[in-house]
Chain A
């Protein structure tokens, strides 16, 4: 296999892999979104059982603080979920017209023998550029997805602590 062919195969493969990974990241957003829904449900439950007339008591204030912290963490998670797909730009290999134009230019400048290696190098370069853009975009999206998941778990922890304090609040 020649260096041209090696480059072409390598970059085409990693470009296709990275493009597939994009879809995997996109599909995995469902997990933090489902957890956010659960967090909202938990918050509603906590609010329903809270006795507002006892707001001045230390346990009540503690529960309010936990609920507020849970809401803030949840809003942070929502922000990061939005950021996963925010302003996503990617590159795709040249269209057929571009390849035909390149083929004619290579043939005119370097002769018939240079067409295939020239086109392979052109495609390898295109795949390399597109791969790097996908890699960068996927890395940023994966980071946002991870942060969303962590924040929603934090939100659930705060709400769980609020629920644990609820019996003490209700007994007075």
Chain B
């Protein structure tokens, strides 16, 4: 009866604030990389010891993607390590 749960309860479907389907990852990859670049720029600009780690919100999918989730979507490019 999990399908019924979706109508009765509104809550994240998984512990990671909702999973990103594989077909949506190419679309989000660019946004994730852009955000990571901005975070790196800000860290350099302000001389921060740690990078800001924002949460990316996609209203289309209804997911919140934290910094760890973004790394997974971005892939293993050296520039994103």
Q: Please give the residue numbers on chain A whose beta carbons come within 8 Å of chain B beta carbons, in ascending order.
A: 85-95, 98, 101-102, 105-106, 109-110, 118, 121-122, 124-126, 128-130, 132-133
Contact = CB atoms under 8 A, between A and B. Distances in A.
Chain B interface, DSSP helix/strand/loop, else mixed: mixed
A91 to B, nearest CB: 4
B55 interface: yes
Interface of B: 27-28, 31, 35, 38-39, 42-43, 45-46, 48-50, 52-60, 64, 66-67
B40 to A, nearest CB: 11
A172 B49 CA distance: 82
Nearest to A102: B50
B67 A98 contact: yes
B12 to A, nearest CB: 13
Contacts of A126: 52, 54
Contacts of A129: 35, 38-39, 42, 52, 54
B55 A95 contact: yes
Given A122-B48, A122-B50, 16 more contacts: A87-B27, A88-B59, A89-B28, A89-B57, A89-B59, A94-B53, A94-B54, A98-B66, A98-B67, A102-B53, A110-B49, A118-B49, A121-B48, A125-B42, A129-B42, A133-B35
Contacts of B54: 91-94, 126, 129-130
Contacts, number: 76
The 7 closest A-B pairs by CB, nearest first: A125-B42, A126-B52, A91-B54, A98-B53, A92-B55, A102-B50, A105-B50
Contacts of A102: 49-50, 53
A89 B58 contact: yes
A109 B47 CA distance: 12
Contacts of A87: 27, 58, 60
Nearest to A103: B50
Given A98-B67, A129-B38, A129-B52, A90 B57 contact: yes
B46 A125 contact: yes
